[in-house]
Structure formats: C-alpha cells, structure tokens
Amino acid sequence: MVDLTLIPYTHRFQGVVSRDPRMSSPRMDLKAAPARRPARDIIDAVVDNMRKNLEPLKYSTLAPSRYTVYLHANEYARLEGIIPVLQEQTMRALSDELQALNRRSSMRRLVGRLRRETDHEIRNAAIDWQIEFLADPDGDMKEGDLLIDSELILPASPELGVGDRTRRITTVHSGEKTTTRESVARDQAVSPGAVTARVEWDDDAGHHAYDMVKDSVSIGRGGVGYPVDIRITASPDVSREHVRFRRDSATGRFFLLDLSSLGTTLNGRHVPKGYDDVDGTKQANANETALPDSARIGLADTVFLEFSISR
C-alpha cells in the first residue's frame, strides 16, 4: 500500500491542481466560465431604466411604456425558451414599481396637504407595457452585457416650433459598470419629397450620398442602441452617434451638434461638444454650431462629409 503522506500534495490529484514553481499557492487549470446575467437581474435593470426616464407633468408623472432589451447572442439563446415568461414578469415588475412609487407615507401626505401640494400620480404613458427582447445584431456586446432602451413621447413644445418629441434613455450594463445616455428626437419632418440638403462622403464601403428630407438627421457608425439615419462604415474613431444635423423649420437654417468622443471639425476647425456628462449620463446641451450653405465636416479626422444646402 502506498502511503499518501509521502507523495507531494500537488501530485495527488494531477490534472486538477498544479503548482507553478514561481507561485506560493496552487492554481486551478480550469478555463473561466463566461459571465452570465441572471434573468431576475435583467428585470431589475429594466425597472431601473424606467426610473431614469420619468417625466413630471402638471398633474401626473409619465413613465415610458416601450422597452427594448438587447442581449449577447449566447445569452439570448439561453433565455429564448422563457422569453414570454420574462416579458410577463418584467411587465409585472414595472407595474409593482409604479405602485411602490405612488405609495407615500401618511406623514408625507399630511405635510403635502398642509403645504397645498398636489400628490402627483406616476403612471404608464400608454395603456400597456411593451417589452421586446432581442439578440445583439451587430456582435458588439460581450457575454453578460445588457443594453436597455426606453422611449417616452414628450409633450409638444410650440415655443420651440416642434411637435411631439421622443426621449430615449439607454442604459448599458457591462460587468460591474453601468452607463446611461439620453437623447431626444424631434418630430419635425418636412413635406414628403422636399429635399433640404445633401450630404456626400467616402468611407470604407465606398462613395455615398444622402438627401435630407427630415429636420433632424443623426450620423455615426450606429449599432445596438444607436439608431442613426446615416451609417458610416469606418474605424471606432468615428463614434456610434457622432453628429446630428438639425434644420430650424422656421428659418430654414441648419445646425450641427457634436456628440462624439474624438471630436468633429467644421471647415478645419473643431466645434464645441454638444453634450454634458451629468452623473454618468450624456445629455445634449445648447452648443449647436450654425452650418454655412456648404461645409466640409470631419468625423474624428477619419471620414469627411460634404454638406450643401439645396436650393
């Protein structure tokens, strides 16, 4: 019989534990399993996104009704069979959260009455919740990553000369880090077929041209959570949403908003950033740059757009 006490510990179970002579402790020769995000964490992340996209009105506060959840392809395949259950429980969690937000302590209600404050109800902006789960179509997400888009239709702003606006809050969960982006799209479409400006450019896919028939056009590499009107095929130096063109329907003037990480030039000069970083959330500011009738616009000095107003 062999006395195991005479055999070095690291050789008793070969293939499971080995000892690196340069290390003072055993190490496991096992490949790390890919990160997985429990389904309940996905539900909690949707609820957290909803809290970030509330809009106070005079007599109530609106919560977004539509959510799109993007998952890594492997993660989606793992959960595909229970997507209907996941949708149902996410809707239930959103409804429960609204009830919790509307439940105020008796003391707070009393103070509100003494101050003649209105107890605003927080409610779904629509009749039903709409939850969609999708696999990442671009292959950009790592396994365990999670991206959530919520959309809320904001009231019209006649003083700004715009109709309904859609605010999109995007939360990206990657490992222990969560980032948030905010964008607002204005519904300012001009008459069908009326071309107001033309954009031409060359990228890795060749030469392209785009006729503007909307009053707001976004440009960038696009991707999950980054819907753009003009999709640029280029290196990551060009941001997912790099710039946005806006036409003032009252004056016909065009403006440029820089949303990039590496900057934008207008006829060779850098334009100011068009967003502020507020508590980890990108929020568009008022730093728009007026566009001349024709201009050369550089996206991170990588791709150049030739812009011209149509007459």
Residue 105 is assigned to a structural domain of this protein = yes
Q: Which residue has the higher pLDDT, 49 or 280?
A: 49
Helix intervals (H) in the chain: 39-52, 73-79, 83-102, 106-114
The CATH number covering residue 136 comes to 3.30.2320.60
In Å, what is the CA distance from 249 to each residue of 162, 164, 286? 9, 14, 17
Same domain, 202 and 181: no
Same domain, 148 and 263: no
pLDDT value at residue 19:
46
pLDDT value at residue 26:
45
Beta bridge partners of 55: 62
Residue 28 is assigned to a structural domain of this protein = no
207: containing domain: 197-309
Same domain, 66 and 179: yes
* Domain-terminating residue out of 130, 152, 186: 186
What is the average pLDDT value for the chain, to the nearest integer?
A: 82
The CATH number covering residue 291 comes to 2.60.200.20
Same domain, 181 and 224: no
pTM flag (> 0.85):
no
Residue 90 is assigned to a structural domain of this protein = yes
- Domain tally for the chain? 2
Residue 281 is assigned to a structural domain of this protein = yes
Gyration radius of the chain's alpha carbons: 26
Starting at the earlier edge strand, list the strands of the sheet with 60-63.
55-56, 60-63, 121-124
Residue 109: how many other CB atoms lie within 10 Å: 12
* Domain-terminating residue out of 141, 156, 186: 186
Same domain, 176 and 92: yes
Share above pLDDT 90 across residues of the chain, in percent, rounded to a whole number: 51
* Domain-terminating residue out of 124, 158, 186: 186
Mean pLDDT of all residues in 264-293: 86
H/E stretch holding 70 reads: strand 66-71
Same domain, 169 and 50: yes
Q: 246: closest CA among 273, 286, 282, 281? A: 286
Same domain, 207 and 262: yes
